[in-house]
């Protein structure tokens, strides 16, 4: 069984991006080095601020969709709950 990660990236302007991957280290590297065309490259989203390990793809996709539908403040509260400093 493969593990998946739901993760959130941000930038200095606090723009948020929520994604899913089965290799968090590789994916964050790709974002930081602008190897992925699209939203994260356009908005310079290079800081990982949240991730959650999930045991299967279906559950990870559901979690990603749920988070994307949250109000912005709920997302910020979640990020702050795991980043105390």
pLDDT value at residue 85: 67
Q: State which residues form the domain around 57.
A: 4-82
| Tokens at 85, concatenated | 């400093």
pLDDT value at residue 74: 98
Please give the angle made by the CA atoms of 52, 55 and 60, to the nearest 5 degrees. Answer: 60
State the CATH number of the domain containing residue 44.
Answer: 3.40.1440.10
Domain count, the chain: 1
pLDDT value at residue 84: 78
pTM of model > 0.85: yes
Letter string b/e over residues 2-26, b meaning 16 or more CB atoms within 10 A of that residue's CB: eebbbbbbbeeeeebbbbbbeebee
The answer to whether 74 and 13 have CB atoms below 8 angstroms apart is no
pLDDT tens track for 17-61: 999 999 999 999 999 999 989 999 999 999 999 999 999 999 999
């Amino acid at each position: 069984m493969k593990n998946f990660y739901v993760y959130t990236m941000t930038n200095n302007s606090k723009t948020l991006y929520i994604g899913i991957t089965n290799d968090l280290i590789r994916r964050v590297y790709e974002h930081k080095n602008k190897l992925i065309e699209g939203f994260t490259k356009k908005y310079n989203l290079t800081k990982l601020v949240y991730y959650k390990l999930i045991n299967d793809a279906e559950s990870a996709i559901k979690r990603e969709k749920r988070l994307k539908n949250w109000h912005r403040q709920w997302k910020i509260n979640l990020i702050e709950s795991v980043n105390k400093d």
